[in-house]
Amino acid sequence: MKQTIALAGNPNAGKTSLFNILTGTRQYVGNWPGVTVEKKAGVIKGLAGSMLVDLPGVYSLSAQSIEEKLAISYLLQEFPDTILNIVDASNLERNLYFSVQLLEMGLPCIVALNMIDVASSRGISIDEQLLAKRLSVPVVPMVARKGTGQEHLLTQLQKDGAVVSSLVISYPEQIEAAIAEIATALADEKLNLAPSVRWIATMWLERNATVEQLVRAQAASGVLNQLEHIRESLGEMADQEIRNARYTWIENLLHEVTAQKKVVNQTWSDRIDSLILHRILGIPIFLAFMFLVFQITFSWVGTALSDVLDEFFSGPVAEGLASALASLDSPEWFSKLMTDGILAGVGSVLVFLPQIGILFFCLSILEDSGYMARAAIVMDRFMRAIGLNGKAFIPLILGFGCNVPAIMATRTLDDHKGRLVTSLISPFMSCSARLSVYSLFVSAFFVKWQAEIVFLLYVTGIAMAIVTALILKKFVKAEDGLFLMELPPYRAPMLKSLLLNTWDKAKGFVRKAGTIIFGMSVLLWFLGNFSWNGMAEMDDSFLAAIGGVIAPVFAPLGYATWQAGVALITGFLAKEVVVTTMGIVYGAGDAAGSLTTILQGTFTPAAALSFLFFILLYTPCISTVVVMKRETGSWNWTLLSIVYSFVIAWVVSWLVYQVAQFIL
């Protein structure tokens, strides 16, 4: 049976785990129409043709944040066949408020009661059958991250299906009268919204901005005037009375379906938090974790794997490709394109895939274990010191993966000024695209200090973001606001979930290798082998002419070669292309092996370090620039960011070069 299933729930309720388990790698990622917030959908394994749409995690349908507005708009207008509401059994009271709102909508629903193992460890027992009876919908107990309950859920979705709840919350008499009057007024309007007119009437009284906008777009002006009059007659406390009625109903329900055993006053989780969240030790612990991640990525595991992949590209792949081309009597120019262009360009980037994968794997461990949420809490006080709300730390953390979604994520911030400042400083977060450049240079020049150098680069990026925020604080003051984040329980990460998350993040790097980097490799090879006079040596080519124009700008930084200049230009398209460009302009046909040797003869260690700092800080890639313009709504701020980052990169790299000449 083909159906569209909407996955909805509170943040940290296990939505991502359930989505990954049900869909595996059959995921489709895009943006919600007209909004730069990620939308994930996937085909459910075991349910032929059934599509699972992952709604943003929200605490309620009050529609204040962009995530809440997206969720409620989808549910109201897209009419999914089933709502799969995932509920955290260990935080049942808070989760059930959202569940009650969903059930009142009148859409078919199934409740996935997740984290029953965590609830049990906290001494909470839940009568799932009585809970299902009181909610009037099926309830499936689960431990999503382990896959426990998955078959039961699939059976419920396939055979029995979802159920429209008969749940009706009794509100105060005046509220009920107003709901009935509004429902009657809307009955003849034939609204193209969710089926329950009673729910729409309730949301109208709660002053839900999204519902109000949709109703105003469809109802006649006379009816709207009547609805306004009814709402105003109740006063401003009607929405609070509605919320109180829901919480009272939930409280009574919990007395019926749950039992709490006596537990010790302080759990092991509390004891860990007392250290992790310490106001003095919290930040050093965060930095220590990040340093450990870089040690694993570069010194202990990632580099060894990259070396193996490099040998594969420079050995069997290069030899096999050359042999195949020779057997086909390939023209000389085409053979060089394949070996010196595509293999050198794409191969020189792909050899660093293991390190990027290891980095994402380690970050996924920190995220799935529950530590990253605590890191955000630790950084809240610090973020306020630089003039930002604590929520801004979340987009900045995303910047370690890619600056584009980091800037997109600023839309979750409440005030415009905070979004502006966070968007402008996000490019200083060292994205994974820069990692291939770091890997190439540290393996060539700083073999014994690979993790330390990369850690220094990441810390410098954070420091420059802080300095920039302090400067902007003088001109753009973000609004103060509460930073509320629920701390998820500590959990041992599941290997399957870690691998899925790692692949989900790393596949973008592979996709670039097969599209942008492949295309750039072909283009760069032609530009590097042709001039206005036809075929030419690399030093007389179009590339040499282009790079030679800007090379003098970088002479004070230790590298005045046209090859470095061209690499920095192409890095504006995508930072990974810096390595691709160097692989081609230096003729490293056997991927990264000979490229490392060539770089050692071209750069001094001081110049190499200067180059790394410039890569870290200079103008972000074109995709980031485009998104920055769209999110800030201003070319002035975007152009200022481009110029500012270039100047900062030049100054810092010059200082690094001057100091490094005496040290290295």
Residue 34 has pLDDT above 80, yes or no: no
Q: What is the dihedral of CA 503, 506, 510, 516, to 10 degrees?
A: 140
CATH architecture of 4-160: 3-Layer(aba) Sandwich (3.40)
Enumerate the β-bridge partners of residue 43: 51
Of 80 and 483, which is predicted with more confidence? Answer: 80
The one-letter amino acid code at 33 reads: P
Residue 591 has pLDDT above 70, yes or no: no
Residue 400 has pLDDT above 50, yes or no: yes
- The per-residue pLDDT for 103 is 93
Give the per-residue SS3 of 565-633: HHHHHHCCCCCCHHHHHHHHHCCCCCCHHHHHHHHHHHCCHHHHHHHHHHHHHCCCCHHHHHHHHHHHC
Residue 309 contacts residue 443 (beta carbons within 8 Å): no
Mean pLDDT is lowest, of 125-139, 305-319, 480-494, for: 480-494
Residue 571 contacts residue 615 (beta carbons within 8 Å): yes
Q: Residue 478's pLDDT band (boundaries 50, 70, 90)?
A: low
Distance between start and end Cα atoms, the chain: 67
Supply the pTM of this predicted model.
0.72
Of 145 and 127, which is predicted with more confidence? Answer: 127
Q: Residue 664's pLDDT band (boundaries 50, 70, 90)?
A: confident
Of 214 and 126, which is predicted with more confidence? Answer: 126
Task: For residue range 210-269, list pLDDT tens digits in order.
Answer: 888 888 888 888 888 988 898 988 887 888 899 999 999 999 999 999 998 765 555 677
Using CB atoms within 10 A of its CB, is residue 237 exposed (0-12), middle (13-18) or buried (19+)?
A: exposed
- Of the candidates 609, 527, 614, the one whose C-alpha atom is nearest the C-alpha of residue 566 is 527
- The per-residue pLDDT for 63 is 56
Q: Residue 25's pLDDT band (boundaries 50, 70, 90)?
A: low
- The per-residue pLDDT for 551 is 93
- The per-residue pLDDT for 500 is 79
Task: For residue range 137-158, list pLDDT tens digits in order.
Answer: 999 999 988 889 999 999 998 8
Percent of the chain at pLDDT > 90 equals 36
- The per-residue pLDDT for 604 is 95
- The per-residue pLDDT for 482 is 57
Average pLDDT, the chain: 86
Q: Residue 388's pLDDT band (boundaries 50, 70, 90)?
A: confident
Residue 110 has pLDDT above 90, yes or no: yes
Mean pLDDT is lowest, of 24-33, 265-274, 446-455, for: 24-33
The one-letter amino acid code at 324 reads: A
| Mean pLDDT of the 49-76 span | 80
Residue 323 has pLDDT above 70, yes or no: yes
Measured between alpha carbons, how far is 42 from 149 in angstroms, rounded to an integer? 19
- Of the candidates 385, 165, 371, the one whose C-alpha atom is nearest the C-alpha of residue 273 is 371
| Mean pLDDT of the 30-56 span | 71
The one-letter amino acid code at 334 reads: F
Percent of the chain at pLDDT > 70 equals 92
- The per-residue pLDDT for 588 is 54
Residue 414 has pLDDT above 70, yes or no: no
- Of the candidates 391, 454, 453, 400, the one whose C-alpha atom is nearest the C-alpha of residue 427 is 400
Helix and strand numbers, DSSP H then E, in the chain: 33, 11
Task: For residue range 329-365, list pLDDT tens digits in order.
Answer: 898 889 888 988 888 778 778 888 888 889 889 988 9
Task: For residue range 292-320, list pLDDT tens digits in order.
Answer: 988 898 788 887 888 888 888 888 988 89
Using CB atoms within 10 A of its CB, is residue 374 exposed (0-12), middle (13-18) or buried (19+)?
A: buried
- The per-residue pLDDT for 432 is 84
Residue 110: which H helix or E strand, with range? Answer: strand 109-114
Residue 401 has pLDDT above 70, yes or no: yes
Residue 619 has pLDDT above 50, yes or no: yes
DSSP 3-state of 373: helix
The angle that helices 635-663 and 605-617 make with each other, rounded to 10 degrees, is 160
Measured between alpha carbons, how far is 575 from 88 in angstroms, rounded to an integer? 40
C-alpha 416: how far from its chain's center? 20
Q: Residue 383's pLDDT band (boundaries 50, 70, 90)?
A: confident
Residues 6+ apart with CB under 8 A from 360: 401, 432, 501, 502, 505, 506
Give the residue extent of every domain in the chain. Answer: 4-160, 173-260, 282-477+509-663
Counting every residue written for the chain, the total comes to 664
Enumerate the β-bridge partners of residue 6: 53, 83
Query: Considering only the top CATH level, what class is 173-260?
Result: mainly alpha
Measured between alpha carbons, how far is 67 from 405 in angstroms, rounded to an integer? 15
Residue 149 dihedral angles phi and psi, to the nearest 5°: 90, 0
- The per-residue pLDDT for 568 is 94
Residues 6+ apart with CB under 8 A from 43: 23, 26, 49, 50, 51, 52
Task: For residue range 427-463, list pLDDT tens digits in order.
Answer: 999 988 898 899 999 999 998 899 999 999 999 999 9
Residue 379 has pLDDT above 60, yes or no: yes
Of 24 and 543, which is predicted with more confidence? Answer: 543
| Mean pLDDT of the 405-433 span | 84
